[in-house]
Amino acid sequence: MTQKILKVIIVVNLQKDGSSELVKEISSYLKSLDIDVFVFSYSGKSKIPKLETADLVFSLGGDGTVLFCSRIVESMSIPILAVNIGDFGFITEISKKEWKSAFIKYQNGQLDLSRRVMINVMVERRGERVAFHKGLNDAVISSNGISNIIKLTLQINETSLGKYRADGIIVATPTGSTAYSISAGGPILDPEMEALIINPICPFTLSNRPIVVSGNEVVTITVEDGQRTDVILSVDGQDAYPLKVGDKIIVERSQTKALLIRSDKRNFYDILRSKLNWSGGANA
């Protein structure tokens, strides 16, 4: 079905080489089609801007730019055309040379959407919510120092899984399964699955293993007393919040999803094979 596109938001990471030129190229083309264009550019860390709704969002940068962009538009359910400036990431499937053909194909109804689970991450302190974040990749509770074990209690819904002594715990979405979680020994999930990964980071007890749970589950992690280091919450590696003893970090699936426009040139498994150098032969 043909997509009617009247307004487009372009989110661009200016730290990427060639980003300024690409913004001008895309803006000029869209304006020639009488499409209203709004550009939000940033460099380094940026606060989440308040944007009016649109029919489409261009994300120009890498995977980090898509993470940032998804949190901007998540509540508005706007499709994201993620253009990679540089090497392909696990999320960005479209190269900067392919943006125009991808846009035209999407406009003509020839490209589908990949619907990705996002998470709501809340911090409760003495029964009061003191922080709220949204993420596409993961929530990480860890020490704010180097190689310091922290003490956490893990609960799924009303069931306690016990106390964890580890460098931290990652709660990852299927999209985030190829981010920090995979480096910590977690499994790779199809990015459109309805699931969450709970992955302890270097646990003191070897029986504490990564587990995959239904996307309907609510994960609660409590910061125990007797910590020898500061404890911090990080969401998508972009939002950070200092934690205190007794804090409860609640992670649950968001009611809305990130909508990423699929490429017809490559898919998640093509990128996975390339990025992880799977040869499939004797030396694999």
Fold of 118-255: Tumour Suppressor Smad4 (2.60.200)
Neighbours of 136 (CB within 10 A): 28
Mean of per-residue pLDDT scores for the chain:
92
Q: What is the pLDDT of residues 210-235, one digit of tens each?
A: 999 999 999 999 999 999 899 999 99
Phi-psi bin for 191: left (phi > 0), alpha (psi -120 to 50), beta? alpha
* CATH 1.10.1200.10 at 7-112+262-275, yes or no: no
Which amino acid, one-letter code, is at 89? G
- Catalytic residue (one of 17, 63, 138, 236): 63
In the annotation, is 138 catalytic? Answer: no
Over range 170-198, report the average pLDDT.
96
Neighbours of 166 (CB within 10 A): 22
Quote the pLDDT of residue 281: 55
Under DSSP, is residue 129 helix (H, G, I), strand (E, B) or coil?
strand
Do domains 7-112+262-275 and 118-255 share one topology? The answer is no
Does residue 141 contact residue 168 with C-beta atoms inside 8 Å? yes
Token pair listed for 115: 């619907």
pTM: 0.92
Domain spans of the chain, in order of start:
7-112+262-275, 118-255
Does residue 231 contact residue 141 with C-beta atoms inside 8 Å? yes
Q: What is the pLDDT of residues 25-67, one digit of tens each?
A: 999 999 999 999 999 999 877 777 888 899 999 999 999 999 9
